[in-house]
Structure 1
Amino acid sequence: MRGLFVAISKSKRRAAYFWAILLAIPVLFFIWLMRPEEGFIRWLYPAFILMCAGWAWRLYRGVNLGAIERETIATVTLFFTIKLAYYLFWGNLEQNWVEIESTYWVMAFVMVLLYIVFDARKGLTYSLALAVVTLILGLLRLGGEVAQGQYRTEFLAFVRSEMRLFAMAGLLYALAIVKDQLALANRQVEEMHALARTDPLTGLPNRLALSELLEEASQHMHGLYLVLLDIDRFKQINDRFGHAAGDEVLREVARRLRVSMRKEDVLGRWGGEEFMILMRGESQQDVPAAVERLREDIAFWPFKLVGPVSASFGVAEGHIGDSIHALVERADRALYEAKRLGRNRVEMSPA
């Protein structure tokens, strides 16, 4: 599982990286113009600017985000580790300290990237490794001279910077663990929510889910059609072939309806051998024709083990001011009428 920023989508991360790099390029260019006398800035900043431009271009072109993230972290870490070593061991340490301090802030930024790209454990490992490298470089440069009474101010600043890095590594790890736990708890709640609203036999929305969908759809009754369908003589199927065969019929009916339905229609199991479909139609001819195709798809091909199976359909049109109860009741009456008239047919409820 991703660490601290698992919830950030790839598209958002890509956009954030792209604009951050575009902002960094003119800043780096300005530093290069203002301080051309320093060898590190003069020779290495142009190369780094070109790499930033390359990353921005690849982000814009949609190149694999993970590869760019890992490449960026490795390059930035190497570049600023070299910069830290250069300013620690080359030139006047007191004059160089501003650049050293700014390099530590970049290292802190790299740590944040580590927790974005890798999981919490790897983020902690790589962050601590980065902090240890900077610690070793600083001790190699300052340890002996501080013992001789030199550079005490710089050494205190170095210690503070190292403490920030180690503290940040630990804090980010703690936040990543908490974020992972919250994400896991949230996923479990979502799974429980989905299970409570899913029929285990057919995988369709169950009566609870359909009731919620009906409540939502009822806000726009105009053009809404409610379809109730009931498998004909289902009790006889169970009695003759067994409940396992009956369950298979229910699954196959659900499959055929899913395949034949329009994309915008919603199918669910209302209970027992009864299914419900929520449909939208521009005219009174659209929905009956679509429902008739569903009826034919069920009745046309025999079912394994049990042979021919048919279903009866009742359709009710929603009207402004309708209640959900009234709409369901009209569809149920239409379904009863389809059964009374011989089954395997579609009946529209009178307005």
Structure 2
Amino acid sequence: MRHGLFIAPYHDVTESPTIALRRDVEIVEWVEKLGFAEAWFGEHHSTGWETICSPELMIAAAAERTSRIRLGTGVVSMPYHNPLMVVNRILQLDHMTLGRTMFGIGPGLLPTDADMIGVEVKSLREKLTEVAEILVPLLMGEEVTHETSWYKLNKARAHILPYTQPHPEIACASAVTPSGGMLAGKHGFGMLCVAATESAGFDVLDENWKIARQIAAEHGKTMDPQKLRLVVPMHLANSREQARRDVEYGLSRWVEYFDRVAPAGMRGMSSGDPVDTLVNSGRAVIGTPADAIAMIEKLQAKQGEFGVVLLQAHNWADWEETRKSYELYARFVMPHFAGTNRNRQDSYDDLGNAIDRLESERQKGADAAFRKWEEQTGRKAE
């Protein structure tokens, strides 16, 4: 299992967008040092909170401050763009990052984005299905002629060939409906389950993966569970009480925003204590590393094998508490699932089992050393 960040992002409309965007890059730099494997940046153009309008720009900036972590578009809202232009940007990033770029696609989450540019909200999923047909040929440098109601390609081909062979990894967003799984299965794409812990999303996790596998088999493809990613909101501290204190202000503001913008099935957090609402419903972890481990094990029990846990970057806490949360995750949660400390734990357990026996042997050795000294010197050890 690998671990990463999913950065929509969520920045309160009362704070500086300049600082917020810089910190989105800085947090990727921080989690790379902690051993995280991936970071994904969203695309949004309205509502005020989700301030990244170009995930490609964020990838370019983060790539210059990191060396190992993989960077993805999480996701490009394909119905808003000409696909050739998007593919050219992805391939440029593929070279600039030396193969660390991942290409996440989706229909577009915010209806206000589509409304501003005159795209019918109800047509978004259909448009994504149309454009998905030509993404792999374009990424591989093939010539494509393709016309839909919203774009026309005439003998189009990407300007440069991919650095990654045969092409950068593609993943599509999946929430509640089966459309994401069907699209992923048809083309062999990975899946970004952005609502894995929402009640409606959690209920269909295994079913959507089953659908993806069935569709993939019908098209002669195989779904790779290592390319299945589940997004989970978490904030960790040394105690549950401390975690609650950390998110006291930021969480309530986020809940207010999320209950406005989320699809109807994902709302309902504004009444009562937001921590209780999120934790008791299983929608988020606000607690300790042990609570994080329990959440991931719950997802494993529901989903089965999957490749990556993506922590949703939500800015519920202040900067230092946020950094500390990711550090605690890296210190205690990541090694738990990697089995990193198995031999250390075995050695520690053996110490408890053997210390009395070995201590007596050690004492015998010490006694023998004293006797030898007395024999050689004729003096009695004090």
TM more than 0.5:
no
Which of these two proteins has the greater Rg computed from alpha carbons? 1
Higher helix share: 1
TM-score (ref. length: structure 2): 0.22
Higher strand share: 2
